Structures are given as structure tokens and as C-alpha cells.
Amino acid sequence: MRSATVTRRTRETDITVTLELDGSGQSTIQTGNGFFDHMLTLLAAHGGLDLAVNCQGDTDVDFHHSCEDIGICLGRAVRDALGDKTGIARYADIHLPMDEALVLCVMDISGRGAAYLDMAILAPMVGAFDTELLPEFLHAFARAAGITLHVRHLCGRNAHHIIEAVFKGLGRALKTACTITGGGIPSTKGVL
């Protein structure tokens, strides 16, 4: 069973993330932000992940610390659940439509975490979610998971649709890249 639990406690946040990579898409999400809860629920459902996220954060300041730290915890949980990455597909790409929006999400579980983003989100807020936090989450997640992540917003104007396409695409790509397809480490170096 490929699973992990990560806890992070700082002066700004107290977070526990529990992840089962080979789950059924079930989730229990409590981040302190309804829109972000919805996005993580979509990530779990489309990624086939069983995911529990509980975050107590300094939302009286804003949602920045919580969003970034959840990215760190989720990334660490993915990294830990993958172990030595034996047999994984490693690579994945998907074009994900959401009504008028279209997003490309490409990943390599390379061990060298970084996010490369090209997104034009026109609205500053979706509900109580500051859209500037989407890159913060993706950068934190990719670094902590050791994933090279590329996300491109190809078309669309509705901020909700664009962000939803990103999370659904991230889930689908993660599911594909984590799939067991062989027996060895998918690298000529012998390690990821």
C-alpha cells in the first residue's frame, strides 16, 4: 500500500495530510477556505487518491501560509508514498478542458522538484480564494514532491474554470505518472 501521513506544525499553521495513492478518490478536506477545499476534493477525485487534509491556519492574516504549507505537506506525502519509485510510469501529460478553459499539465517525477507555470488568471479572487495563491501552492507542492511540473493555461477567461482545470489536470497527471508499469527504476541513473 502506497500511503503516507505528513504533519507540519509552525507558528502559522498546524496541518496533517494523509494520502493513499492507490485509493478510490475519497476525501475529507478542511483547509479553512471553501474554494480550496473544493479544488483539493477535485484533485483527489480525478487522481484516484484517498486524501485527508486538516489545516488550522492563521486565516485571520490571510490564506497564504495555509495554502503554501498544504502544498508542502501534500508534496511530501506524495514523495513518501512513492518510496524509491520502483516501477512507476514517471511521466504524464494531459490537456484538461473545463468549459471554455483549457489547461496543459505535464509532469516528470524526476526527484528534482520545480514548477514552471504560464497562467493568466484574470480575476483576483474566486470566492474567498486569492488567485495569486495558486502558483504558491503549485511551487510548494512540486518542490516538496520532487516533481518537475509544467502548467500552461491555453485558453479561457473564467478564473474558477481555469483553476478547476488545473486541479483536475494535476490529479489526472499524478495518477498516470504514479501508475506502476514495470519493475525497475525508470531512469538510466538507477535512481530518481
Residue 183 lies in a domain: no
- Which CA distances in Å does 180 have to 42, 158, 177? 22, 36, 8
User: Checking DSSP bridges between strand 101-108 and strand 148-155, what pairing results, if any?
Assistant: antiparallel
Q: What is the pLDDT of residue 72?
A: 98
The predicted structure's pLDDT at residue 191: 87
Q: Comparing C-alpha atoms, which of 24, 172, 2, 188 is closest to residue 85?
A: 2
36 in a domain, yes or no?
Answer: yes
Decide if 188 is inside a domain: no
Q: In the chain, how many H helices and how many E strands?
A: 4, 10
* 47 in a structural domain: yes
Query: How much is the pLDDT for 190?
Result: 86
Domain boundaries, position 111: 3-178
Number of structural domains, the chain? 1
Quick check: is 184 in a domain?
no
**Confidence at residue 130, expressed as pLDDT on a 0 to 100 scale:** 98
Query: In whole numbers, what is the pLDDT of the chain averaged over residues?
Result: 97
Is 159 a member of any domain? yes
DSSP output for the chain: --EEEEEEE-SSEEEEEEEETTS-S-EEEE-S-HHHHHHHHHHHHHHT-EEEEEEEE-TTT-SHHHHHHHHHHHHHHHHHHHTT-TTB--EEEEEEEETTEEEEEEEE--S--EEEEE-----SEETTEETTHHHHHHHHHHHHHT-EEEEEEEE---HHHHHHHHHHHHHHHHHHHHSB-SSS-SSTTS--
Residues of the chain falling short of pLDDT 50:
none
pLDDT of residue 188: 87
Q: Is 152 part of any domain?
A: yes
Q: Which pLDDT belongs to residue 180? A: 96
pLDDT of residue 183: 85
43: domain CATH number is 3.30.230.40
- Each residue's pLDDT tens digit, 40-89: 999 999 999 999 999 999 999 999 999 999 999 999 999 999 999 999 99
How high is the pLDDT of residue 175? 98
Q: Is residue 185 part of a domain?
A: no
pLDDT the model gives residue 1: 87
Rounded Cα distance, 168 and 164, in Å: 6
